[in-house]
Amino acid sequence: MKIRDMLREERTISFEFFPPRAADGIPGVLDTVGELAAYCPSFISVTYGAGGSTRDFTERITVQAKQSGGVEVMAHLTCVGQTVDELDGVLGRLESAGIENVIALRGDPPRGEEQFTVTEGGFRHASDLVRHIRANYGFGIAAACYPEGHTEAESLERDLEYARLKVDNGADFLITQLFYDNNDYFAFADRAAAAGIGVPVVPGVLPVLSAPQIRRFTALCGSKIPAKLDAELERLAGDDEAVRELGVEYAARQVEELWAAGVPGVHFYVLNRSYSVSKILDYLALPGHTLG
Ligand SMILES: Cc1cc2nc3c(=O)[nH]c(=O)nc-3n(C[C@H](O)[C@H](O)[C@H](O)COP(=O)(O)OP(=O)(O)OC[C@H]3O[C@@H](n4cnc5c(N)ncnc54)[C@H](O)[C@@H]3O)c2cc1C
């Protein structure tokens, strides 16, 4: 089923996974997908790496999860290191495997590279990939957006214009980068609506799992850690279990407020761990997403 059709009928809950480094890690990821399937996610997705064999694992996990029949899926696809012909190869395989939804991204540069470099014969921006998919395939399409602005954006206004371009080119809905201050999401949703973006903007939520990890992630993606959360992370430094519980509590309160405000859905960055998201969903007890 296309996620755009789901979003007309329900408020979605979705889980994002990443591919393992080696093929023997695939069953472990699929096990976690299976565990979290008990919460009846609207869909799951698997990120697309900057190159190499993990891209193959992404495809395999995406297709296996879809063909297991237990859950709807969305494939991630990026412009990094691929010509249009190569992208068509991936899209053709996904289509033949029955995948109905894709999130079209520019992608992050490969490890060790500072900047995104356009591949000769490839695309420069996610909006180009969105347009190409819309013109040539029948997939439902998502794209990324940034409540606090993308790290390379000239300004918040320009970044929003480019988000609008992705929608104009065919994106059915947007999923946000992670954020820890809901006011950033609410302000972005208002600015998006004022800029004529009429599609659902689904907030992306990452429960903190460890202090060094979240400091690294936020430094990379340009999201801020609010002072109060930062102070708590400092206070609990070294106690990994306490940090994880803080992450559960913080994300549960974040999602509770977002849900009460009427967001179209919530996309959880699961990081292949079921513990935190299970606890959050147990606490929230959202209709249709509780354990039977
Ligand atoms: C929900 C979600 C899922 C993600 N999944 C993955 C994944 O699987 N794999 C991965 O590698 N990364 C993933 N990312 C990260 C993403 O690839 C990076 O944030 C990347 O740096 C930008 O991708 P984009 O699709 O937003 O690019 P774009 O929309 O192309 O934007 C990139 C930058 O260019 C600017 N820009 C956009 N269009 C134009 C234009 N026409 N002219 C001039 N400037 C423009 C924007 O303001 C922005 O600064 C994900 C991000 C999110 C939010």
CB 77 within 8 A of CB 105: yes
**Token pair recorded at residue 211:** 């202090």
pLDDT band at 52 (very low <50, low <70, confident <90, very high): confident
* Mutational test site, ligand 1, from 119, 150, 160, max ligand atoms within 8 Å of CB: 150
Compute CA distances 210 → 47, 141, 247, whole Å: 20, 32, 8
**Token pair recorded at residue 14:** 């979705």
**Alpha carbons 234 and 228: distance in angstroms, whole number:** 10
* Mutational test site, ligand 1, from 105, 220, 266, 269, max ligand atoms within 8 Å of CB: 105
Digit-coded pLDDT (tens) for 21-34: 999 999 999 999 99
pLDDT the model gives residue 69: 86
Return the ligand 1 atom nearest residue 146 CA: 53
Digit-coded pLDDT (tens) for 7-18: 999 999 999 999
pLDDT band at 292 (very low <50, low <70, confident <90, very high): low
Residue 217 φ then ψ, to 5°: -60, -45
**Token pair recorded at residue 227:** 């002072």
> How many other CB atoms are found less than 10 A from the CB of residue 79?
23
pLDDT the model gives residue 102: 98
* Domains recognised in the chain with CATH numbers: 3-284 (3.20.20.220)
**Alpha carbons 99 and 254: distance in angstroms, whole number:** 31
Question: What does pLDDT average to over the chain?
Answer: 96
**Alpha carbons 152 and 107: distance in angstroms, whole number:** 13
Percent of the chain with pLDDT strictly greater than 90: 94
Helix (H, G, I), strand (E, B) or coil at 230: helix
Digit-coded pLDDT (tens) for 78-124: 999 999 999 999 999 999 999 999 999 999 988 888 899 999 999 99
Helix (H, G, I), strand (E, B) or coil at 57: helix
78 C-beta closer than 6 A to ligand 1: yes
Q: Per the confidence metrics, is the pTM higher than 0.95?
A: yes
* Residue 272: DSSP 8-state: T
Residue 143 φ then ψ, to 5°: -145, 165
- The neighbouring-strand residues paired with 142 are 103, 173
In terms of DSSP H, where are the helices of 141-235? Answer: 156-168, 182-194, 211-221, 227-235
